[in-house]
Amino acid sequence: MEPHTQSRVLAVEPVLPAHRHEQAEIAAELAPLLTEPGPRRALLHRLHGNAGVRTRHLALPLREYADLARRPDAFDAANAVFADVGLDLAEQAVKGALASAGLAPEDVDVLLFTTVTGVAAPSLDALLVDRVGLRRDVVRWPGFGLGCVAGAAGISRLEDHLAGHPGQVGLLVSVELCSLTLQPTDTSVANLVASGLFGDGASAVVVAGPERAAGRPGWAVLDHTSRLLPGSADALGWQVGARGLRIVLSSQLPEVLHQHVGADVAAFLAGRGGSPRVDRWVVHPGGPKVLDAVADALDLAPDALATSRQVLADVGNLSSSAVLHVLARTPAQPGERVLMLGVGPGVSTETVLLERVGEPS
């Protein structure tokens, strides 16, 4: 289908908490919470140094994480912070995205909310209705569990809805406060890696159906597909316990992606008839090894994932928000095509083909 007949991303608004710290500063503060002095602590510092991250933004002041970790009700306390800080970030992102799209809160017909770092009922999207001024008949889809893939998948799901409701406006909100999942009693390599890789952030995306998008600049959603990679269910995710969310992060994840992503993306593009060009790549910044595996599988030029690597360096892996932060930083001229690739638990991938329409971004 042509871009003018497709739903369109009108605005992407990335936001970050105010507490910004250098990676070395974070490592120095967290190391005593995670390990005793000795080889394991030395390993933590090496892993933090090799994470491809220079700075991260945190939901709390850095020194408050020690107090949080020592609390007997640490999971409850962290979840309360998630609800409080997360709602503020969501409000900021939504207001910014709607302003950029030239729309009012009452224009939103459907609201998709995603997170994998906190639990709340009512979910934060319900609280946003009064906070932002959304209509009380807005259709809400709160989701938990897609994890890092949900930023790309959220755009796909809104496009699915808007294809049948071409005059409507959809809003995707992602809130990920990864620092609140810190597990101080877990000295596994996975937890040490996660403590140096993940940051906190949020984002909001405005997507309009074809009729509502007419004449507006943005990203036309040309096509999308979802995949579950075989034999990979234990490579990425959470184990849920008394102290909250414990990371599952296999060292085999890059190899899993390397084995499947190339063929999957090639099949997706071929399914559109031949091999449509891709001018820019928006890939989930899951870590240096993840980006290297994807770049190698897709046979990309050395600088093709420069924006993903820059987002990783500046803010860390923001789970579902990360790929949206990359999209927000991706410049494009009218007619240029972008392939967005999200990666999450399952292991799952979401591939979205976008084309820039209207004014340059």
Sign for the CA dihedral angle at 15, 19, 22, 27 comes to negative
- Helix, strand, coil share of the chain (percent; to 5): 45, 25, 30
Pairing of strands 280-283, 337-344: parallel
Active site residues: 148
* Rounded Cα–Cα distance for residues 318 and 351 (Å): 18
Number of Cβ atoms within 10 Å of the Cβ of 84:
10
Strands (E), the chain: 8-15, 19-22, 55-58, 110-115, 139-144, 169-177, 200-208, 218-228, 236-241, 244-249, 280-283, 337-344, 348-357
Cβ-based burial of 125 (10 A; exposed 0-12, middle 13-18, buried ≥19):
buried
At 33, give phi and psi (nearest 5°). -80, -25
The residue among 330, 343, 338, 335 whose CA lies nearest residue 269 is 338
For residue 283, the Cα-to-chain-centroid distance in whole angstroms is 10
Cβ-based burial of 250 (10 A; exposed 0-12, middle 13-18, buried ≥19):
middle
